[in-house]
Amino acid sequence: MEFSSKLIEKAVNEMSQLPGIGKRTALRLVLHLLKQPKEQTGFLSQALLNMREDIKFCENCHNISDTKVCEICANSTRNHQTICVVEDIRDVMAIENTGQYKGIYHVLGGKISPIEGVGPSQLNISSLVEKVKSGKVIEIIFALSSTMEGDTTNFYIYKQIADSEIVISTIARGISVGDELEYADEITLGRSILHRVPFEKTFKSN
Amino acid sequence: MEFSSKLIEKAVNEMSQLPGIGKRTALRLVLHLLKQPKEQTGFLSQALLNMREDIKFCENCHNISDTKVCEICANSTRNHQTICVVEDIRDVMAIENTGQYKGIYHVLGGKISPIEGVGPSQLNISSLVEKVKSGKVIEIIFALSSTMEGDTTNFYIYKQIADSEIVISTIARGISVGDELEYADEITLGRSILHRVPFEKTFKSN
């Protein structure tokens, strides 16, 4: 792609570093900004800079936060003895949106993935193990992706905390609500039979 | 969508102002920046700001440029008597990439679209009419989108320059190279028969 302006070229190059944004999309976005008032570009740049410079990670759960301890960890009405282990902040948001969980979280910051060069030492695993060993935790819920990497990460952590006397559970795998059986894959369907729940439980939301 | 951080929320809100980027995509992009070194966000913000602040539009053709007159207009080996009228800079890039055009351009900056509230006065039409009236132009080629808005814009400009003694042409509409006839729409196919070209011409690239 040839540009008639070095300024445009540089902006497009930087923009296309973002995941899922190719050169053509980047050019479309840059030309859009050019048509908008100058302030919009200013606001966008400033918001990104502020975010990157000033963002903090919660000391306790590694969730993203504006303060030293995130709102969830600082909330004394929540159950601090149950920890839900998730990959990243998006999973925290997703679970919070369900309104079904009243414990706290622990954000790993990713999952073990040799292909992407992510080992256990790059994740917030040791602080989780310490929390478990401190004896203040009653239950750990694994809520990682149902993939090879997610399972590996689950198992790696499990091995380190298996000798503690706490409940270790994982979120249920099964047929999604609204799905038809004939389209479900065998493994999911098999697990959903294996881990069937008493019918009465489906009446209650908690 | 609830955010655990106001900084993230603001960055996501600004990001999702861009066309085709929703809140979820914006969050994914923002979290990506957060995982990268701080410099990347700095480079991106700076590139966008520089682009927005310092970009110039060519005095002659309104193309985007780093200088007062763009490279194409400043190139004396090009034919300055043939002007190709396009909507925006992307069309200039697309036509330049074909390597088939040696004239100069005139960038309108959009097309007449009552629905989007774009009238003739918001486009660079008067400067084009002036150029034509100055008598230095021999041919005008309309290369606008083949849509209702494109055709309206073509016709609006045509009416103002029709009395000049210049050649006014439009790029050929027809079957795309590689397309099968049975899938072509009737209007395109009809036009391609109406505007058929001598077979010998297809041997030559110019």
* Minimal-distance CA residue of chain A relative to B37: A52
The two three-digit tokens of residue B116, written as one number:
């989007």
Residue A202 lies in a domain: no
Residue A126 lies in a domain: yes
How distant is the Cα of B44 from the closest Cα of chain A, in angstroms?
Answer: 5
Residue B104, pLDDT score: 94
The C-alpha atoms of residue A145 and residue A125 are separated, in whole angstroms, by: 16
Is the ipTM above a cut-off of 0.85?
no
Same domain (yes/no): B99, B139 = yes
Per-residue pLDDT of chain B in tens (206 residues, 90 and over written 9): 777 788 999 999 999 999 999 999 999 999 899 888 899 999 999 999 999 998 888 999 999 888 889 989 999 999 999 999 999 888 998 898 888 899 999 999 889 999 988 999 999 999 999 999 998 899 999 999 888 999 999 999 999 998 888 999 999 888 888 888 888 888 888 888 888 888 777 776 55
Same domain (yes/no): B26, B102 = no
Across the interface, do A7 and B44 touch by the CB < 8 Å criterion?
Answer: no
Residue B27 lies in a domain: yes
Across the interface, do B55 and A21 touch by the CB < 8 Å criterion?
Answer: no
The two three-digit tokens of residue B173, written as one number:
């509409």
Same domain (yes/no): B162, B112 = yes
Same domain (yes/no): A87, A166 = yes
Across the interface, do B66 and A5 touch by the CB < 8 Å criterion?
Answer: yes
Residue B206 lies in a domain: no
CATH number at residue B89: 3.40.1360.10
The two three-digit tokens of residue A54, written as one number:
């000033």
Across the interface, do A5 and B65 touch by the CB < 8 Å criterion?
Answer: yes
Residue B174, pLDDT score: 85
pLDDT in tens, A107-119: 998 899 989 889 9
Window from A43-52, A77-86, B178-187 with minimum mean pLDDT: B178-187
Task: Give B94-136 as a 3 state SS string.
Answer: HHHHHCCCCEEEEECCCCCECCCCECHHHCCCHHHHHHHHCCC
Containing structural domain, residue B145: 77-171
Instruction: Return the residue in A10, A12, A38, A52 with the most chain B beta carbons within 10 A, the one to mutate for interface testing.
Output: A52
Across the interface, do A89 and B30 touch by the CB < 8 Å criterion?
Answer: no
Same domain (yes/no): B132, B46 = no
Residue B45, pLDDT score: 95
The C-alpha atoms of residue B87 and residue B91 are separated, in whole angstroms, by: 7
Same domain (yes/no): B50, B84 = no
Spell out the alpha helix ranges (H) of chain B: 6-15, 23-35, 38-54, 71-74, 89-98, 126-133, 148-161, 186-194
B-chain CB neighbours of A92 within 8 Å are: 4
Same domain (yes/no): A165, A83 = yes
A-B interface: how many C-beta pairs under 8 angstroms? 170
Across the interface, do A49 and B54 touch by the CB < 8 Å criterion?
Answer: no
The count of other CB atoms within 10 Å of the CB of residue A15 is: 24
Across the interface, do B31 and A88 touch by the CB < 8 Å criterion?
Answer: yes
Contact A65, B4 (CB under 8 A): yes
Same domain (yes/no): A48, A88 = no
* Minimal-distance CA residue of chain B relative to A54: B7
Rounded to the nearest 5 degrees, what angle is found at the Cα of B90, between the Cα atoms of B89 and B93?
Answer: 90
Across the interface, do A51 and B66 touch by the CB < 8 Å criterion?
Answer: no
Residue B123 lies in a domain: yes
Across the interface, do B30 and A50 touch by the CB < 8 Å criterion?
Answer: no
How distant is the Cα of B106 from the closest Cα of chain A, in angstroms?
Answer: 14
Instruction: Return the residue in A1, A2, A3, A5 with the most chain B beta carbons within 10 A, the one to mutate for interface testing.
Output: A5
Same domain (yes/no): B107, B148 = yes
Same domain (yes/no): A88, A128 = yes
Residue A92 lies in a domain: yes
Residue A15 lies in a domain: yes
Across the interface, do A1 and B45 touch by the CB < 8 Å criterion?
Answer: no
Residue A196 lies in a domain: no
How distant is the Cα of A90 from the closest Cα of chain B, in angstroms?
Answer: 8
Same domain (yes/no): A94, A131 = yes
Residue A99, pLDDT score: 86
Same domain (yes/no): A42, A94 = no
CATH number at residue A50: 1.10.8.420
Residue A123, pLDDT score: 92
Domain count, chain A: 2
The C-alpha atoms of residue A188 and residue B153 are separated, in whole angstroms, by: 57
Which among A2, A10, A49 is the nearest to B93, CB-wise?
A2
Across the interface, do A44 and B48 touch by the CB < 8 Å criterion?
Answer: yes
B-chain CB neighbours of A11 within 8 Å are: 47-48, 50-51
A-chain CB neighbours of B105 within 8 Å are: none
A-chain CB neighbours of B50 within 8 Å are: 7, 10-11
B-chain CB neighbours of A93 within 8 Å are: 1-4
